């Protein structure tokens, strides 16, 4: 029996025995104290509805559960939502996948397969979500292709972060946390009315701590957090018909980057390197190695202004306008090789992104038998990237006598998107609703990109090798005529996404639904160090056709909620990093398309409230995600038929089990005990399930206990995450001569004091 399986069984037994004991004790003390499950209100369809009345698969986490379970970052969120996977890309930006649908690409300006929002406002690129998870009312995770209701098309789904809004009464509070590695995390907010028609809310988050990853060769440390985030909301309601919400938010991140772990040496050239006998990293989340010669740092910033205006006329029709402007800047330096040598180090990567979006929509009142929504949106995004790398210990540098040991790459992309959409629902009977929608999108993208010379290294080498003069600092990406150029290209695509479905609600406690939906994700240009312009050929848009059926049931007088869904995805032209065989430069990295793939799966989410204060929740997702048609090169350059192989980063089983018990100690004090277990089965980070790219199965166990005032004025919580010190990987990469892995969270524990006024 392997370690992860043993931990899984131990953890599940611990949850079961603890909750059985709690249940027995509580049953003796309160034999007939029962309480219906709390109703969760979501806005997945841009209308406020009970989650049990929405005929689609949704996971929703309330702000209280986010705080209780100490979910403070994106990896925490993925462990709490089966079907949602999180991984770091090579440049430390997040990669989200839902039900096996996601894009593994480090390009800053690439649209994700899972679209992201804050209060329905698009966050077009995943790195923009890095510090959004504070002072939240809830998080909604919508599974399956989206596009009918949200601002961006997506094939995998959508994640919507909903911030807490200004209140009618004055409120203020803080959460103060001290944890392992001398980590301090502080949240604070103040909210209330400024005038009879104007309310405001301000919230901040500050995190700081020691470096926690340690070099195995020289003992230096890295990975410490240093972030600040703030949000100001102004809610103006001059009349019953008009409301205006202004959201001003910003964050900065000056953490030291988490470094990768060395997995294997895979030389690309037959020359000896001082790095080739380096030991692989220990199976320890704290272990890494990195070069002292590279100044590892991060200096990222995000600023956003968003304005929402809702105007209701005729007591039935609401016109909504959502406007957003985002400015993001990135400056980082880090290792990509997980070694004390410099086989591949990023000495500086710079990124500048601006994003503007405008949505207009009009909808009738939700209490009508025929409900409709019409809308249009426009977005304009500009993403510039510039990355300098150095690799004197790589085999290509050794083989060229150190001449080819550094270089740079730049990519400037301009994107515009236009869309019109409609969503319709008709109650054809008291218990039967037919629904549908359609969206037309036009997506235009332009790019300028090249690899460029640094200090006459790239220019000198290729100028000598090919007999082509290249000025120092100039572009050194070659076209088909072997002329160095600044590559320029564009793609113009259009698509029509749609959805049709049927909801049957025979009574207040059950909902059955069938949905068929088609979604798209726009084509992309990769940002990479390209030797030839063939590497910049774009991946075309991908599409996904989803067939899905599900049920949402409230049973035992509201003590048990059970949700089920089965689905089949017909996935065409999936975008994925692959390999190109160039007759001059050999095997090169490209962003391509897989013609045919499919995903079959089912999921269940069961919440049981056997007695007052005790909540037991179990979730399970099963995925059979296969490539149906694709021939391509593996990492060694061999041509393979990948038909029948598993899609990367898609564990077959994802499960979680949690228990939470709240009970009174006295009239003025209560306590809370919680434990959760999250499991992910083995998967692979590349095509063909190569051994070096395996992400083994893992189980993470978290626990907490708290005591506080019955009026919620204060609470003191002890918590621990990954308490059994499970080692796991979130991703594996190949760069030049090395294979490296991104490790998951190390065990952490701490104490949190919550104060409310």
User: Could you read off the pLDDT of 496-550 as tens digits, one per residue?
Assistant: 999 999 999 999 999 999 999 999 999 999 988 888 999 999 999 999 999 999 9
pLDDT at 463: 76
Helix/strand number for the chain, H first, E second: 5, 45
CATH number reported for the structural domain that contains residue 464 in this entry: 2.40.170.20
Residues 6+ apart with CB under 8 A from 31: none
Question: Mean pLDDT throughout 224-230?
Answer: 96
pLDDT at 43: 74
d(CA 385, CA 450): 11
Q: Rounded mean pLDDT of the chain?
A: 90
Other beta carbons within 10 Å of 490: 12
Distance from the Cα of residue 352 to its chain's centroid = 20
pLDDT at 690: 87
Residue 270 confidence (pLDDT) above 60: yes
Q: Is 55 helix (H, G, I), strand (E, B) or coil?
A: coil
Residue 403 confidence (pLDDT) above 90: no
What values do phi and psi take at 379, rounded to 5? -140, 145
Beta strand 157-163 with 114-118: parallel, antiparallel or unpaired? parallel
Per residue in 139-178, pLDDT (tens digit) is 999 999 987 876 678 999 999 999 999 999 999 999 999 9
Question: Mean pLDDT throughout 200-220?
Answer: 95
Question: Mean pLDDT throughout 35-52?
Answer: 69
For residue 583, what pLDDT band results from cuts at 50, 70 and 90? low
Would you say residue 283 lies in a domain?
Answer: no
Q: Answer yes or no: are the C-beta atoms of 577 and 105 closer than 8 Å.
A: yes
Give 601-657 as a DSSP string: EEEEEEEEEEETTEEEEEEEEEEEEEEEE-EEE-TTS-EEE-TTPBPTT--SEEEEE
For residue 28, what pLDDT band results from cuts at 50, 70 and 90? very low
Q: Answer yes or no: are the C-beta atoms of 217 and 239 closer than 8 Å.
A: no
Residue 31 confidence (pLDDT) above 60: no
Residue 588 confidence (pLDDT) above 90: no
d(CA 718, CA 674): 10
d(CA 728, CA 746): 9
Residue 32 confidence (pLDDT) above 90: no
d(CA 222, CA 77): 24
Residues in the chain: 757
pLDDT at 45: 67
Query: What radius of gyration, in Å, describes the C-alpha atoms of the chain?
Result: 26
Residue 14 confidence (pLDDT) above 70: no
d(CA 378, CA 259): 38
Give 205-221 as a DSSP string: EEEE----EEETTT--E
Query: Percent of the chain at pLDDT above 90?
Result: 71
Per residue in 339-377, pLDDT (tens digit) is 999 999 999 999 999 999 999 999 998 888 999 999 999
For residue 29, what pLDDT band results from cuts at 50, 70 and 90? very low
Q: Answer yes or no: are the C-beta atoms of 455 and 494 closer than 8 Å.
A: no
Question: Mean pLDDT throughout 601-605?
Answer: 95
Residue 461 confidence (pLDDT) above 90: no
CA distances from 169 to 41, 62, 98, 203 (A): 21, 21, 39, 16
Beta strand 213-215 with 287-288: parallel, antiparallel or unpaired? parallel
Measured at the alpha carbon of residue 17, what is the angle toward residues 14 and 18, in degrees to the nearest 5?
A: 80
d(CA 60, CA 141): 6
d(CA 288, CA 730): 15
Residue 20 confidence (pLDDT) above 90: no
Query: Can you give 485-514 as a three-state secondary structure string?
Result: ECEEEEEEEEEEEEEEEEEEEEECCEEEEE
d(CA 268, CA 280): 18
d(CA 716, CA 339): 42
Would you say residue 598 lies in a domain?
Answer: yes
Would you say residue 409 lies in a domain?
Answer: yes
Residue 385 confidence (pLDDT) above 80: yes
Tokens found for residue 13: 């037994």
Would you say residue 504 lies in a domain?
Answer: yes
Q: Is 710 helix (H, G, I), strand (E, B) or coil?
A: coil
- DSSP at 454: S
Least confident of 167-181, 289-303, 355-369, 576-590: 576-590
d(CA 527, CA 107): 5
Would you say residue 442 lies in a domain?
Answer: yes
pLDDT at 16: 41
**Pick from 388, 393, 400, 401: nearest CA to 265:** 393
Residue 73 confidence (pLDDT) above 90: no
Query: Can you give 267-327 as a three-state secondary structure string?
Result: CCCCCCCCCCCCCCCCCCCCEECCCCCCCCEECEEEEEEEEEEEEEECCCEEEEEEEEEEE
Residue 9 confidence (pLDDT) above 80: no
Question: Mean pLDDT throughout 11-32?
Answer: 42
Give 524-572 as a DSSP string: B---S--SBGGGGPPBPPEEEEEEEEEEEEEETTTTEEEEEEEEEEEEE
Residues 6+ apart with CB under 8 A from 239: none
Would you say residue 284 lies in a domain?
Answer: no
Would you say residue 251 lies in a domain?
Answer: yes
Total count of domains within the chain: 1
Q: Which domain does 581 fall in, by range?
A: 3-278+289-756
**Pick from 122, 165, 139: nearest CA to 67:** 139
Question: Mean pLDDT throughout 81-109?
Answer: 86
What values do phi and psi take at 470, rounded to 5? -125, 120
pLDDT at 394: 94
Residue 19 confidence (pLDDT) above 60: no
Least confident of 67-76, 245-254, 480-489, 534-543: 67-76
Provide the sign of the torsion angle of the four alpha carbons 69, 70, 71, 76, taken in this order.
negative
Residues 6+ apart with CB under 8 A from 513: 55, 56, 501, 502, 503, 504, 549, 550, 551, 552
d(CA 164, CA 161): 10
Residues 6+ apart with CB under 8 A from 38: none
Whether the model pTM is above 0.85? yes
Per residue in 670-728, pLDDT (tens digit) is 999 999 999 999 999 988 888 899 999 999 999 999 999 999 999 999 999 999 999 99
What values do phi and psi take at 109, rounded to 5? -100, 40
């Amino acid at each position: 029996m392997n370690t992860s399986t043993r931990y899984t069984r131990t953890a599940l037994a611990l949850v079961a025995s603890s909750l059985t004991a709690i249940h027995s004790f509580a049953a003796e003390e309160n034999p007939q104290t029962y309480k219906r499950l709390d109703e969760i209100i979501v806005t997945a369809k841009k209308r406020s509805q009970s989650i049990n009345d929405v005929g689609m698969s949704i996971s929703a986490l309330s702000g209280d559960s986010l705080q209780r379970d100490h979910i403070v970052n994106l990896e925490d969120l993925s462990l709490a939502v089966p079907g949602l996977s999180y991984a770091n890309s090579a440049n430390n930006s997040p990669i989200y996948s839902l039900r096996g649908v996601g894009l593994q690409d480090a390009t800053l300006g690439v649209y994700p397969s899972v679209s992201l929002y804050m209060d329905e406002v698009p966050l077009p690129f995943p790195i923009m979500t890095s510090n959004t998870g504070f002072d939240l009312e809830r998080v909604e995770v919508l599974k399956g292709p989206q596009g009918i209701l949200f601002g961006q098309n997506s094939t995998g789904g959508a994640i919507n972060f909903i911030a807490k809004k200004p209140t009618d009464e004055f409120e203020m509070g803080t959460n103060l946390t001290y944890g392992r590695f001398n980590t301090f995390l502080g949240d604070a907010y103040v909210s209330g009315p400024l005038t009879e028609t104007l309310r405001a809310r301000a919230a901040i988050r500050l995190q700081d701590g020691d470096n926690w990853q340690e070099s195995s060769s020289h003992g230096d440390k890295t990975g410490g957090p240093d972030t600040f985030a703030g949000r100001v909301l102004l809610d103006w309601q001059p009349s019953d018909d008009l409301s205006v919400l202004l959201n001003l938010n910003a964050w900065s991140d000056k953490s030291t980057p988490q470094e990768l772990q060395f997995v294997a040496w895979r030389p690309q050239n037959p020359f000896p390197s001082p790095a080739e006998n380096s030991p692989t990293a220990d199976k320890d989340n704290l272990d890494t190695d990195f070069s002292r010669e590279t100044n590892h740092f991060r200096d990222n910033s995000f600023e956003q202004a968003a304005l929402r205006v809702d105007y209701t006329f005729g007591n039935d029709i609401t016109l909504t306008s959502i406007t957003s402007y985002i400015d993001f800047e990135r400056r980082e330096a880090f290792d990509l090789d997980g070694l004390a040598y410099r086989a591949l180090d990023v000495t500086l990567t710079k990124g500048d992104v601006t994003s503007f979006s405008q949505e207009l929509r009009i909808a009738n009142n939700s209490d009508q038998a025929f409900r409709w929504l019409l809308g249009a949106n426009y977005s304009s995004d500009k993403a510039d990237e510039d990355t300098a790398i150095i690799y004197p210990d790589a085999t290509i540098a050794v083989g060229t006598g150190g001449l080819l040991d550094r270089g740079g790459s730049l990519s400037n992309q301009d994107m515009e998107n236009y869309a019109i959409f409609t969503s319709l629902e008709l109650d054809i009977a008291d218990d039967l609703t037919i629904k549908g929608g359609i969206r037309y999108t036009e997506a235009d993208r332009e790019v300028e990109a090249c690899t460029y010379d640094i200090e006459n290294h790239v220019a000198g080498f290729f100028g000598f090798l090919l007999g082509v003069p290249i000025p120092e600092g100039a572009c050194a990406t070659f076209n088909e005529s072997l002329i160095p150029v600044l590559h320029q290209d564009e793609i113009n695509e259009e698509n029509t996404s749609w959805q049709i479905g049927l909801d049957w609600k025979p009574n207040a406690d059950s909902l059955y639904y069938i949905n068929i939906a088609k979604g798209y994700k726009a084509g992309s240009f990769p940002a990479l160090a390209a030797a030839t312009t063939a590497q910049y050929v774009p991946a075309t848009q991908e599409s996904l056709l989803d067939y899905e059926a599900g049920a949402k049931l409230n049973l035992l007088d509201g003590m048990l909620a059970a949700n089920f869904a089965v689905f089949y995805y017909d996935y065409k032209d999936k975008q994925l990093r692959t390999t190109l065989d160039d007759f001059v430069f050999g095997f090169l990295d490209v962003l391509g398309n897989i013609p045919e793939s499919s995903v079959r799966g089912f999921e269940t989410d069961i919440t049981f409230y056997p007695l007052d204060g005790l909540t037991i929740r179990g979730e399970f997702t099963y995925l059979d995600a296969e490539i149906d048609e694709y021939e391509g090169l593996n990492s060694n350059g061999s041509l393979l038929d990948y038909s029948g192989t598993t899609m990367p980063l898609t564990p077959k089983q994802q499960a979680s089990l949690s228990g939470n018990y709240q009970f009174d100690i006295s009239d003025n004090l209560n306590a809370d005990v919680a434990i959760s277990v999250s499991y992910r089965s083995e998967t692979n980070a590349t095509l063909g399930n190569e051994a070096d790219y395996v992400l083994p199965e893992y189980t993470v166990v978290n626990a907490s206990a708290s005591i506080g005032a019955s009026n919620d004025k204060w609470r003191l919580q002890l918590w621990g995450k990954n308490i059994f010190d499970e080692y796991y990987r979130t991703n594996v990469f190949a760069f030049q001569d090395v294979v490296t892995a991104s490790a998951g969270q190390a065990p952490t524990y701490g104490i949190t004091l919550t104060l409310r006024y």
